[in-house]
């Protein structure tokens, strides 16, 4: 099992760069950031762009993996996104992981206009978005026509440092999304039940276990070894409180290791937010937590 973190893009770089370097020093496997234009309670607070932030982080670090968790069709087109990801993979020396998801609802999803997409509309777009992004990152030139996304002789030369392309971690819980994860993902991401952010702590593992079983079934239907996908759990969206203490984290991590989760992702503390946590406890978790699993 690996331990990673999410560093929200809420700090000016003069301060933010210290957090990314500290994440590397603490030994986190990866440091991700959200790919939103703004988000929930941070709507009227500082919020910077994901790709420029990750580019800066790539130049400020040497070893830690970097990535989006997650990027979506809400305001991304595969052609322009692929060019940015190829460039970021080069700048980072092949340390990029791309979390992709179908996107959610709310002001951030509607900022470009056009109204709110239904779950089916988001799924339809995602079903085109991921295969096209896959092609773009594997090929020197791509032409592909779809209902929602089209590429006409889109060039991506010299391609990714990581071959055949940067790894995808696909966020999904429904049948169509899980099939996409089974076909295209090197990893799968869940945060629990996205329809119920207040899932009680005692119910949360059962929700993830059911999702993981559905992923296994999707892999088998695709003729894919279910063990070939990493399984990531993003902390912070259930009633569980694993960052309250080192012991709480160890118990939480042990529960999900038994369920087959291979990577835990915890939020870097942000004061006066839903991700507030004791920085001292957080650093102990980073350096001691997984070592205490038996």
Domain membership flag for residue 217: no
Summarised one tens digit per residue, pLDDT across range 115-135 is: 889 999 999 999 999 999 999
pLDDT tens digits for 56-113? 999 999 999 999 999 999 999 999 999 999 999 999 999 999 999 999 887 778 888 8
Nearest Cα to Cα of residue 287 among 63, 33, 22, 67: 22
Q: Which two tokens stand for residue 102?
A: 């179908």
Mean pLDDT of the region 237-247: 95
**Backbone φ, ψ for residue 227 (5° rounding):** -75, -5
pLDDT 10s digits, 3-50? 999 999 999 999 999 999 999 999 999 999 999 999 988 999 999 999
**pLDDT score, position 116:** 84
Q: What is the number of structural domains in the chain?
A: 1
For residue 194, what pLDDT is reported? 65
Please, what sign has the CA dihedral across residues 127, 122, 148, 49? negative
The answer to whether residue 158 sits within a structural domain is yes
Structure confidence by residue, pLDDT tens digits, 199-231: 788 999 999 999 999 999 999 999 999 999 999
pLDDT value, residue 104: 85
Tens-place pLDDT, residues 250-263:
999 999 999 999 99
Instruction: Give the CB-side neighbour count of residue 260, counting CA atoms within 13 A.
Output: 20
What are the φ/ψ torsions at residue 118 (nearest 5 degrees)? Answer: -75, 165
Residue 61 lies in a domain: no
Residue pair 2/294 in contact by the 8 Å Cβ criterion: no
Mean pLDDT of 225-249: 96
Does residue 266 sit within a domain?
A: no
278: pLDDT strictly greater than 90: yes
Tell me if residue 139 falls in helix, strand or coil: coil
In a domain, residue 93? The reply is: yes
206 lies in some domain: no
Strand, helix or coil for residue 97: strand
The β-bridge partners of 247 are none
Domain range enclosing 96: 72-164
Is 160 inside any structural domain?
yes
pLDDT over 80 (residue 287):
yes
Q: What is the pLDDT of residue 106?
A: 73
Task: Please give the angle made by the CA atoms of 17, 20 and 26, to the nearest 5 degrees.
Answer: 135
Give domain status of residue 189, yes or no.
Answer: no
Q: pTM of the predicted model, to two decimals?
A: 0.96
């Amino acid at each position: 099992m690996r331990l990673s973190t999410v560093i929200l893009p809420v700090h000016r770089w003069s301060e933010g760069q210290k957090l990314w370097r500290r994440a590397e020093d603490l030994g986190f496997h990866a440091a991700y950031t959200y790919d939103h234009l703004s988000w929930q309670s941070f709507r009227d607070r500082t919020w910077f762009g994901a790709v420029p932030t990750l580019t800066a982080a790539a130049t400020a670090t040497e070893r830690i993996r970097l990535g989006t968790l997650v990027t979506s069709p809400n305001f991304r087109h595969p052609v322009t996104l692929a060019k940015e990801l190829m460039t970021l993979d080069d700048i980072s020396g092949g340390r990029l992981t791309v979390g992709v998801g179908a996107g959610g609802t709310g002001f951030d999803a509607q900022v470009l206009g056009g109204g709110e997409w239904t779950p089916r509309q988001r799924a339809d777009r995602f079903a085109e978005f991921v295969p096209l992004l896959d092609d773009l990152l594997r090929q020197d030139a791509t032409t592909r026509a779809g209902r929602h996304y089209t590429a006409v002789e889109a060039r991506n030369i010299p391609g990714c440092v990581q071959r055949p392309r940067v790894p995808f971690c696909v966020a999904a819980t429904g049948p169509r999304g899980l099939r996409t994860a089974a076909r295209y993902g090197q990893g799968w991401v869940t945060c629990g039940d996205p329809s119920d952010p207040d899932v009680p702590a005692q119910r949360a593992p059962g929700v993830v276990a059911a999702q993981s079983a559905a992923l296994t079934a999707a892999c088998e239907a695709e003729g894919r070894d279910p063990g070939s996908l990493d399984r990531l759990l993003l902390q912070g969206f259930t009633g569980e409180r694993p960052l309250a203490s080192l012991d709480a984290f160890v118990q939480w991590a042990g529960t999900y290791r038994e369920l087959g989760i291979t990577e835990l992702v915890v939020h870097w503390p942000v004061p006066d937010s839903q991700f507030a946590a004791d920085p001292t406890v957080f650093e102990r978790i980073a350096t001691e937590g997984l070592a205490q699993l038996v």
